[in-house]
Structure 1
Amino acid sequence: MSTRSERGEKKPPQALEAEAAVLGAILIDQEALPRVMQFLKPDHFYSLAHRRVYEAMLNLFEAKKPYDIITVADELRRMKELDSIGGQPFLSALQDTVLTSANCEEHAQLVLEKALQRQLIQTATEIVQDAYNEEFSAEELLEKAESKIFQLRQAGERRGFTLVRERLLQEMDRIEQARTRKQHITGVETGFLELDDLTSGFQPGDFIIIAGRPGMGKTAFALNIAVNTTTRVKKPVPVAIFSLEMSTDSLIQRLICAEARVTINQLRRGMLNNPEYARIAAAVGRLSEAKLYIDDSAALNALEIRARARRLKGDHPDLGLIIIDYLQLMEPHSGGRREYSRQQEITEISRALKAMAKELNIPVIALSQLSRAPDRREDKKPLLSDLRESGALEQDADVVIFLYRDAEYNKKNWDALSEEQKKDTDLIIAKHRNGPTRSIKLVYLYQFMRFENIESRYNYSTLPEDNEAESES
């Protein structure tokens, strides 16, 4: 509870009796500590003496030693804290606080709640101080405030074991629905049918890496997926794109070029004949129906992206896919501290994006650069070891996809290449946590920055309007 001091000042929220009860329960029951240490940390205790006692207990647990009055006192003596807490009589008083450990977890939860209230007061104070800083815009201040509150919410989350039988019935219902529909695509469709066949669609909670060397068409491929997913598949869903490299206007121009099959040069210069202009008008009409959201803010960190994604999903609960272009341009939440290597920063970002996918229960695609290692090999097709700057990307990702176009390594002989060679693309599924891995062939219409399925029977990315417009040209 929150009380007032002798000076009339309001004391921070606290539950000293609950703190003592938790420590007393641990002293009389060796099984109590493992139950509460999953969520209760030393800094959750308001009393410094209680905090030190809990730290001593955790030290003993880690050393696989018993924790009773004698051993805890000895550990506090080693920590040079025994006298500061009041000596062994203080520990005896804690043990006498409770007769049983039955309510230990409930008391620990009360301690945690009071700690979160204190942290909320501290966070609110920081938000007020930030608001007086005129260097930041109101929007930036809101983002900072939301990130801080979100961190606090995470700290208060308790997730433990789930009894399997409670989920089995849910899974059986899902299997029965899939069997009734007789459709093998259970996740978010990409519009690239062989990829969808292999993955059954990108699954909720999946973290997907799409990687390649510069010039392979990563952004084009991601945009093609976004358009297919929002407009062409059997079950369209809204898609959010965080573009840390390109502006929204640039992405929209690319979307129009790919959809209308005109070059970016034609679009920007207005060098369009009547059929081309008709294709653009038709493309704009189709794209205007897409529930596609773009945020082109630069230098976002994972927490900011997570906060914005949560807000968008709150406004649009059917949000089905998030795309980030690209991972190496994200800022670490640690703020780029000097003691952090770039590998540690990428690891932090990777873990945060995987956590976001899991929390929002939607697939998250992150585009990623590859190291220069493929350029130095005779066989230039990428390997998992080529993922740039962190092995965490390979570890955290549920699916890793490499884009590889051999023509990109033959620019000097470009004119000698056939059109088929220029367009030939390997989509290499190098990791698939819950399924097979293999390569898929795609066609890259490089003039229009558009990928298509290689077999015409799969080519539902070609719409009737396209064929009509082409027949006129």
Structure 2
Amino acid sequence: MATALDTYSDMDGDDIVQTAPHNIDAEQALLGAILYDNEVYNRLGDFLRGEHFYDPVHMRIFDVIATLIQRGSLADAVVLKNRFEKDEGLSEIGGVEYLSFLLHNAPSGAAGPAYAKLIFDLAIRRELIRVGGEIREFAENPETEAEAIEQIELAERKLFDLAESGGAQSGFDSFETAVTASINMARAAYERDGGLSGLSTGLVDLDRQLGGLHESDLIILAGRPSMGKSALAANIAFHVARNYKSEKDVLGNEKAVEGGVCALFSLEMSSEQLATRLLAEHSGVPSNKIRRGEITPDQFDAIRDSAAELQAIPLFIDDTGGLSIGGLVARCRRLKRTRGLDLIVVDYLQLLSGGALMKSSDNRVQEITAITMGLKALAKELDVPVLALAQLSRQVEQREDKRPQLSDLRESGSIEQDADVVMFVFREEYYKSRTEPREGTEEHMAWQTEMEELHGKAEVIVGKQRHGPIGTVKLSFTAELTKFGNLVQDDRYDGYVG
């Protein structure tokens, strides 16, 4: 059996031609095993496709078998005989009698998954050879205008696609495939009592409004400075990572079944500052006291216990300043490949740069457009939600009603255009605290009453959502812990599954 490069030899025994890695015997064995017992197909998992077979006839046979079994029909040599009686490719290797040959030489069904993995591995090797050739040819071509950094990013993307799916290009999906994916998403929500089809944010009303954070979505979380958007994003990332549970798929890869692996790009704060915030949230000790060391022995014990518990969570922080969109994409691909990845958080969008691909004459609007398009493309490529923070323009401050609107997004309409969801963080308490009247007056008493009503409350305004309605979600906010929480009212969360 050939599992590496096969060679053809001339009369003198000299090697003259090499063929790509393949194993015809393994392909025959797997097809025969499935024809003998269709249940073997159901034990293969969903990683093997017809395109992974080297022999085009084997590819067509497998595709027909897969279609029949998925429809609940029997796929045996008799049924396939009617399908392939006029197949010219099959005629060249023995006609429909070839199906009997496969069945007669079928191995034990228990060996099916092993043959499938071998076929898949050899298909990946063939693709790797092809992609490597394309990369080399592109780099050696003197007429290529792309800069070296662009070629590296293109090469890395091709290799990532290959590592993820076994094919450098995904091509078209049939409508049947798309509908199946939609049904699976609906089933996931149904099995969670109609709660979520995406990642839980840990905030009950926000989850109900959004249905969770959906794969391949670009979610913009915008706000003016001091509104708490960084805190909210960190809270969500922390919740996702802390609730991570996984299981292995048929290829032995870890796959999240709850929560997820999270990448948090902090272009404004250091990883140490973020860690302090998360320790404060988890331990209940205010972050300013942690930084100054003004803590009691009991509080120190709480911080130590929280640190020990949080060290193992799959939250990866990158605090590189001035990071380019190309660099961010490359790091996410690498993390997805090596550790898995289920959520990307970017704090914040306007601190990213377009990188070397942006010409010096390009203006900031064009650069932001390239960045938002890059983030949306990344969400689709890695099939994970991307939560990107954004600053709002100062025109918010000039209105009497300070609640933000879509038109307040700074520098580019592409932020609104490319996003699947746009949310705004708003804390009226912040603005009201800056309008304190003179003490002892009736206005001051009314102001105090209003401040008491607003204290510890925040709003997340969903201004755009492709998958559902817009609206306002009310949350609690604990300033000393920079922590958002559920604003519990009337015990309406009993029985909620998040």
Q: TM-score, normalised by structure 2?
A: 0.61
- Structure 2 equivalent of residue 329 of structure 1: 351
Aligned with 2:365 (options 332, 335, 343): 343
Amino acid aligned to 1:121: E
Distance in 2, matches of 1:194 and 1:320, equals: 22
Aligned residue identity for 2:470:
T
Is 1:242 the counterpart of 2:261? The answer is no
Residue equivalent to 2:318: 295
Kept after mapping to 2: 8 A contact 1:323/1:364 = yes
Provide the rounded CA distance (Å) in 2 between the counterparts of 1:292 and 1:146. 27
Change (3 A) 1:385 1:170: closer
**Aligned counterpart for 1:279 among listed residues 298, 302, 326:** 302
In structure 1, stretches of 5+ residues that fail to align are 1-110, 131-142, 461-473
1:121 aligns with 2:121: no
> Are residues 160 and 249 of structure 1, via their aligned partners in 2, closer, same or farther at CA, if it must alter by over 3 Å?
same
Measured after TM superposition, the shift of residue 329 of structure 1 is 0.5
SS in 2 for 1:209: strand
Indicate the larger mover: 384-393 or 250-259: 250-259
Taking the aligned partners of 2:325 and 2:492, their CA distance within structure 1 comes to 36
Q: 1:360 aligns with which of 382, 387, 391?
A: 382
Q: Provide, for residues 349-406 of structure 1, a one-character-per-residue CA deviation record: whole Å limited to 9, x for no partner.
A: 0000000000000000111100111111111100001111000000100111100011
The structure 1 residue matched to 2:153, chosen from 141, 144, 147, is 147
Q: Matches of 1:178 and 1:209 in 2, distance apart?
A: 23
CA distance in structure 1 between the partners assigned to 2:461 and 2:188 by the alignment:
31
Query: Which amino acid in structure 2 is aligned with residue 430 of structure 1?
Result: G
> Which residue pairs with 1:229 in the alignment?
240
**SS of equivalent residue, structure 2 residue 355:** coil
Q: Distance in 2 between matches of 1:285 and 1:345?
A: 41
2:177 and 2:287 map into 1 onto residues whose CA distance is 54
**1:428 counterpart (452, 461, 465):** 461
TM-aligned CA distance change 1:253 to 1:419, over 3 Å: farther
**How far apart, CA to CA, are the structure 2 residues paired with 1:126 and 1:260?**
54
Give per-residue Cα distances to partners, 1:246-266, cap 9 Å, x unaligned. Answer: 111111111112222222321
Q: Is the 8 A contact 2:217 2:384 kept in 1?
A: yes
- Residue 73 of structure 2 corresponds to none
CA distance in 1, matches of 2:133, 2:240: 45
The count of aligned residue pairs is: 335
Report if the CA contact (8 A) 1:190-1:233 is conserved.
no
Correspondence list, 1:408-427, <5 A = 408-413=430-435, 416=448, 418-427=451-460
Equivalence for 2:338? 315
Q: CA deviation at 1:180?
A: 4.7
Letter matched to residue 363 of structure 1: P
Q: Is the 8 A contact 1:227 1:287 kept in 2?
A: no
Q: For residue 11 of structure 1, what is the aligned residue in structure 2?
A: none
1:157 Cα deviation from its structure 2 partner? 5.9
- Give the counterpart of 2:205 among 190, 194, 214: 194
Paired residues of 1:191 and 1:232 also in contact (CA < 8 A): no
TM-superposed deviation, 1:334: 4.7
Q: Report the Cα offset of residue 118 of structure 1.
A: 2.3
Which amino acid in the other structure matches residue 300 of structure 2? Y
C-alpha contact 2:344 2:386 (8 A) present in aligned 1: yes
2:476 to 425, 443, 458: 443
- Percent identity at matched positions? 36
Which whole-Å deviations, capped at 9, do the CAs of 1:322-361 have from their partners, x for residues lacking one? 1011111101135553321111100000000000000000
Question: CA-to-partner distance for each residue in 1:187-222, whole Å, 9 max, x for gaps?
Answer: 111001111112111111010000000010111111
